């Protein structure tokens, strides 16, 4: 029997969907009233505040659109390509997708032990992308397998013997796990990873004695639109999520701001044409702020003086607050929003096996433009135990450039040509550099882009005074 609250939420969602589109009004900030200007600025704040929650919502909805429901598993039988549209994904190992809901009772996530060197790793998250714990071979169970019991705050009901119990503050939880593939993503290893994935179980605690049959969906090659679309429609998505989720104490001020804009819990969402016009301008402005904050403002520490490379994560914040950006005396949702524009998922324990750097502009401070041509020279003998890679991402979506099959170059690729001194020139542009096709990454005309440099097994020398990455150079066509 569904609860009244559940039925009410369904009614709200249906009513929201039923609102017919209307011709948008024009909004001119310079000629707006005091109330309209206030609404505009609050709407920008709301979109930034909601970014980690929107990441989860679009992640969940994209999986649902491809047949992956709560407690199901979506997996990639091969390495994902550009169709996996989420923030700065990796393309060296496939992803394993899952989400669940504890609103109607605790849920068990059961991970199998590693087999023959093949294991899984990742982090269980709540809907705001706050980590519950790292799991799998690099997490709590150390690859031995475990049952993770996820319960609401203050839960004092039935438990599961030998299960690892975690309080989850939100209704929804999720994880994007990855397999460990010694020797790389060979056909044999991918098959073994798929077999291990199909031993994962997710089920309600109430059915622990006889768990239902799992549903596994191969999402390889399917369109996964997981990147939040930052237009005026984002406020409808925010309305949907605040009606599906619990309101955390920290967010009550923002809930008041949302209510002032007609975004209320348990009430239908029906913005006027004038309000929608404000939303249509506020959401793209929020996105531009997050782009600027992440890539240019300095909240991500610069790696080297005079260079445009910065670290992946805004500091301080990630380690001290476990990715919530809730400090003792304030709550930095601006830095948090910028972070979750650029990444998806977080970790409980920030490891040292991989190091990331971001670059989005030239030495002169110009955004990287997919219509132009650039060259980046990677130094010889980069201090890493394993390998380095350079990956291109769209600046607006922070995901793979669309319809581009090759998004990365790494130091293990046989087709990559080295210079006489061991350095590697990497070319970027809409068309290949003649004779340098193996060293070329295609960009999209009219789209800004940025780079992530990944260092697998970074050595101490990477952080010393004798090593720096070069800035990217604008070159002739």
Whole-angstrom distance, CA of residue 274 vs CA of residue 24: 7
| pLDDT tens digits along 98-155 | 999 999 999 999 999 999 889 999 999 999 999 999 999 989 999 999 999 999 999 9
CATH architecture of the domain formed by 67-222: Sandwich (2.60)
Instruction: Of 287, 332, 288, give the one whose Cα is nearest residue 314.
Output: 332
The answer for residues whose C-beta is within 8 angstroms of residue 262's C-beta and 6 or more apart is 269, 270, 271, 275
CB atoms within 10 A of CB 3: 10
Q: What is the pTM of this model?
A: 0.92
67: left (phi over 0), alpha (psi -120 to 50) or beta: left
**Would you list the domain boundaries of the chain?**
67-222, 352-475
Query: Residues 27-44: what's their mean pLDDT?
Result: 95
| pLDDT tens digits along 431-444 | 998 889 999 999 99
| pLDDT tens digits along 269-284 | 999 999 999 999 999 9
Query: Residues 343-362: what's their mean pLDDT?
Result: 89
CB atoms within 10 A of CB 476: 5
DSSP one-letter code for 184: -
Whole-angstrom distance, CA of residue 405 vs CA of residue 408: 9
CATH architecture of the domain formed by 352-475: Sandwich (2.60)
Task: Give the model's confidence band at 14: pLDDT under 50 very low, under 70 low, under 90 confident, else very high.
Answer: low
Query: Residues 67-88: what's their mean pLDDT?
Result: 97
pLDDT at 20 over 60: no
Whole-angstrom distance, CA of residue 171 vs CA of residue 241: 10
Comparing 168 with 14, the larger pLDDT belongs to 168
């Amino acid at each position: 029997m569904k609860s009244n609250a559940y039925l009410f939420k369904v009614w709200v969602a249906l009513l929201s969907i039923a609102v017919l589109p209307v011709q948008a009004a024009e909004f001119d900030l310079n000629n707006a009233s005091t109330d309209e200007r206030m609404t505009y600025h609050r709407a920008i704040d709301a979109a930034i505040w909601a970014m980690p929650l929107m990441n989860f919502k679009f992640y969940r909805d994209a999986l649902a659109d491809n047949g992956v429901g709560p407690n199901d598993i979506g997996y990639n039988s091969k390495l994902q390509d550009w169709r996996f549209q989420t923030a700065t994904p990796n393309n060296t190992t496939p992803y394993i997708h899952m989400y669940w809901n504890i609103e109607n009772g605790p849920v068990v996530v059961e991970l199998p032990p590693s087999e023959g060197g093949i294991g899984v790793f990742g982090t269980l998250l709540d809907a705001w992308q706050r980590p519950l714990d790292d799991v799998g071979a690099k997490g709590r169970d150390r690859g031995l397998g475990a049952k993770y019991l996820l319960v609401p705050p203050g839960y004092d009901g039935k438990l599961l013997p030998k299960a690892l119990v975690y309080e989850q503050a939100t209704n929804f939880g999720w994880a994007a796990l990855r397999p460990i593939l010694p020797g790389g993503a060979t056909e044999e290893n991918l098959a073994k990873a798929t077999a291990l994935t199909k031993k994962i179980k997710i089920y309600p605690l109430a059915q622990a004695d006889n768990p239902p049959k799992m549903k596994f969906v191969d999402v390889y090659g399917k369109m996964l639109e997981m990147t939040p679309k930052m237009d005026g429609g984002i406020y409808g998505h925010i309305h949907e999520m605040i009606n599906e989720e619990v309101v955390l104490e920290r967010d009550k001020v923002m809930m008041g701001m949302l209510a002032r804009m007609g975004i209320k819990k348990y009430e239908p969402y029906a913005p006027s044409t004038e309000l929608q016009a404000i939303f249509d301008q506020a959401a793209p402005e929020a996105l531009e702020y997050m782009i600027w904050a992440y890539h240019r403002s300095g909240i991500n520490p610069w790696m080297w003086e005079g260079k445009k490379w910065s670290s992946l994560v805004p500091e301080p914040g990630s380690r001290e607050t476990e990715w919530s950006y809730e400090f003792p005396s304030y709550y930095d949702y601006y830095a948090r929003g910028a972070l979750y524009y650029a990444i998806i998922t977080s970790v409980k324990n920030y490891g040292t096996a991989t190091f990331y750097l971001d670059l989005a502009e030239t030495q002169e401070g110009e955004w990287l433009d997919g219509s132009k041509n650039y060259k980046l020279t990677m130094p010889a003998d980069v201090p890493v135990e394993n390998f380095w890679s350079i990956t291109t991402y769209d600046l607006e979506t922070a995901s793979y450039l669309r319809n581009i099959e090759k998004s990365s170059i790494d130091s293990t690729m046989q087709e990559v040509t080295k210079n006489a001194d061991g350095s590697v020139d990497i070319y970027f542009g809409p068309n290949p550099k003649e004779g340098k096709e193996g060293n070329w990454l295609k960009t999209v005309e009219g789209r800004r882009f940025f780079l992530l440099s990944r260092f697998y097994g970074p050595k101490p020398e990477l952080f010393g005074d004798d090593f720096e990455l070069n800035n990217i150079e604008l070159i002739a066509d």
